Structure 1
Amino acid sequence: MLELAILGHLADGPLHGYVLRRRVEQLSGHTRPISDGSLYPAINRMVKRGLLARHTEPGAAAAQRYVLTLTDAGRAELLERLREPTQQDITDHNRFFTLLAFLSLLPDTEQQHAVLRRRLEFLETPASFFYDGDRPLPAEEVADPYRRGMLLMARSISRAERAWLHEVLDGQGGTTG
């Protein structure tokens, strides 16, 4: 998720490291804060792999600042991750939102829709946080008010997301590409 967010934000243009960190945090920080201890090692790995280029520019107060840019290899990697996301990118809500934030960078609408269809298929598979054997328990069968609340909220969110996915895939949600 972190690498995808880095690649996606840099697809818009070069960024200073601190600006990139802020943008990554704004996208996902409310659920998964980004520390320097995870961001900068990820950037260093991506520079070594040739996905990003780093150069220095003079800072406002004399200290130099690093500026990161996406390389051609980085753009190719980004498009491949968007075109063929992992199953976890499809099933994990936060990872999917990161993917969704950059999906319009895929130039082919049919490829965008293939990703959305995978998410829709996942959402339409019966599931629950709680089970009776192999049978998912619906909220109406859960006595604990907090667990029932979890199920009711998840159902509502899933219903809204499925409606939006159907709207886009059926051609009523405007173009995505």
Structure 2
Amino acid sequence: MTRRGETIELAVLGLLHEGPMHGYELRKRLNLMLGWGRVLSYGSLYPALKKMLRAGLIEDTKEATTSRRPRIAYQLTEAGNVEFQRLMSEVGPTAWEDDTFDIRFAFFGRTDMEIRLRVLEGRRSRLQERLEKVQKQLAMTQEEVDRYAAELQRHGVESVEREVRWLSELINAERTEGQRDIPPGQKTNTGQSQG
């Protein structure tokens, strides 16, 4: 499966956790999720839905309408739920790349803390590498570019620095929350279990 196809699949499966949705609603929600720079067309959505139907990850139901064509609602199957969990538990490089990170982040509430931490740390690491490269290029080309090109490069550096700070704050919050989430039977107060 292509990376874009896997991203669409992950997003659809995640959205269908909320309940059945029509193609129009899925497209609208996916476009909001993907952001202003990446618009999902029906030409990309419907082939992905058909593939997911064939794989048994989702099922469709036809609803009667006043028009000639029935409306089709899609819903998650048990196999789709298992696939969603599998995709969300991946912590390798594809989990923190630009194409998939935002979608994964949108569904972090359904993910284990350890997985969230690994994805956040991977994303931060990747951005720090990118930041170092961009800063080196900026230093080398500072005299060679006009002020507008330099401003654009500076803006890029600041954007990455801002995301690195944001990720660091999220990681710290996850770790702090993880310390609070110790099961009640394991918390002790003067040697006694709290319930």
Query: Shorter-chain TM-score: what band?
Result: 0.7 to 0.9
Shift of 1:67: 0.7
Match of 1:100?
105
Which amino acid in 2 is paired with 1:137?
Q
Return the TM-score normalized by structure 2. 0.75
CA distance in 1, matches of 2:91, 2:66: 39
Unpaired runs of 5+ in structure 1? 129-134
Shift of 1:159: 1.6
Match of 2:119?
115
SS of equivalent to 1:55: strand
Instruction: Judge conservation of contact 1:139–1:152 (CA < 8 Å) in 2.
Output: no
Q: How does 1:1-177 map to 2 (within 5 A)?
A: 1-28=7-34, 30-59=36-65, 61=67, 63-84=69-90, 87-92=93-98, 94-106=99-111, 108-125=112-129, 126-128=132-134, 136-138=136-138, 141-142=141-142, 143-171=145-173, 175=177
Shift of 1:52: 0.7
Percent identity between the aligned chains?
A: 30
Structure 1 outlier segments of 4+, above 4 Å: 172-177
Residue correspondences, number: 169
Shift of 1:29: 5.5
Unpaired runs of 5+ in structure 2? 1-6, 182-195
CA-to-partner distance for each residue in 1:118-140, whole Å, 9 max, x for gaps?
10111111222xxxxxx931268
- Quickly say closer, same or farther: Cα 1:57–1:118, change in 2 above 3 A: same
CA-to-partner distance for each residue in 1:1-31, whole Å, 9 max, x for gaps?
2222111111211111111111111222521
Instruction: Judge conservation of contact 2:95–2:119 (CA < 8 Å) in 1.
Output: no
Shift of 1:115: 0.8
SS of equivalent to 1:66: strand
Match of 1:131?
none
Q: Which structure has the larger Rg?
A: 2
CA-to-partner distance for each residue in 1:48-73, whole Å, 9 max, x for gaps?
11111111112254641111111122
Return the TM-score normalized by structure 1. 0.82
